[in-house]
Structure 1
Amino acid sequence: MYPTLESMGVNSFDNIEKYTLRYEGGFDVLKIYYRREKGSLLPKSKKFKFGRATRTVLSDGGQQQYREIREPSLIVLRAVDELSSLLGQEHEDKLTKEDLVKELEHLERVVANKVAELKEKIEKLS
């Protein structure tokens, strides 16, 4: 029913709550969130990274100038289509202020942890 998601190891389709897709460090990052009962040992989310395909295209008609274009992987595009149909909604229409605030808070935690880790490494070198 959802061959791309199944090939990625996603199989609890009934428990998928939402997903996010962002571009980070040269990769498309797809994160699938699940509904879980409190105390469940199953993960609340799964993250997948997809590299982008690079192709060279002619950019000027008569100038013979080429440029590289980086395109999303077909797998991530198919996965997003399957997730949209599975959830019965268009992903872009579902983005809310709350989602953006949560993503920003998550990013702040990640950056703070990385800064602390780097400071610790600097201290060890001193």
Structure 2
Amino acid sequence: MYPTLQSMGITSIQDIEKFTLRYESGHDVLKIYYRREKGSLLPKSKKFKFGRSTKTVLADGGQQTYRQVQEPSLIVLRAMEELEQIVGRQHEVKVTKEDLVNELEHLEKVMTSKISEIRDKINAM
């Protein structure tokens, strides 16, 4: 019934609670969250990264100028359609200040972790 999600290895379709899609470092990142019982050993979420295709298109202006345009993967678009059928359009809620603060805090944690990892590699040399 959901061929794209199944091809991505998603088997607990009935447990999908919500999903998010964001653009990060040239990739679309789809994160799917599941309803889980307390104490469950199953993951509460799964993250998928999709590359974007780049096309060169003729720009307006009549001067034969071209520009590059990035488009999301067809797989992520199909997965989004299937997820919207499952959970509705919950992910399209307006972005609030709190959402942006949470996203910024998450980014800071990721960057701090990555910087530490690189420093450890440098020190190991």
* Identical pairs, percent: 69
Q: What is the 5 A alignment of 1:1-126? A: 1-93=1-93, 99-125=99-125
The number of equivalent residue pairs is 125
Unaligned runs of 5+ in 2: none
Q: CA deviation at 1:118?
A: 2.1
Unaligned runs of 5+ in 1: none
Q: Could you tell me the TM-score, scaled by structure 2's length?
A: 0.84
Kept after mapping to 1: 8 A contact 2:53/2:72: yes
Structure 1 residues 81 and 100: alpha-carbon distance in aligned structure 2, compared to 1, 3 A threshold: farther
Distance in 2 (CA, whole Å) between partners of 1:97 and 1:88 is 23
> Secondary structure of 2:122's partner?
helix
Distance in 1 (CA, whole Å) between partners of 2:102 and 2:13 is 23
> Secondary structure of 2:38's partner?
coil
Distance in 2 (CA, whole Å) between partners of 1:94 and 1:19 is 15
Instruction: State the Cα deviation string for residues 67-118 of structure 1 (Å, max 9, x = none).
Output: 1111111111111121112102342127566654544333222222112222
RMSD: 2.1
> Secondary structure of 2:93's partner?
helix
Q: Could you tell me the TM-score, scaled by structure 1's length?
A: 0.84
Instruction: State the Cα deviation string for residues 26-50 of structure 1 (Å, max 9, x = none).
Output: 1111011112222222111111111
Runs of 4+ off more than 6 Å? none
Distance in 2 (CA, whole Å) between partners of 1:82 and 1:96 is 26
Structure 1 residues 62 and 89: alpha-carbon distance in aligned structure 2, compared to 1, 3 A threshold: closer
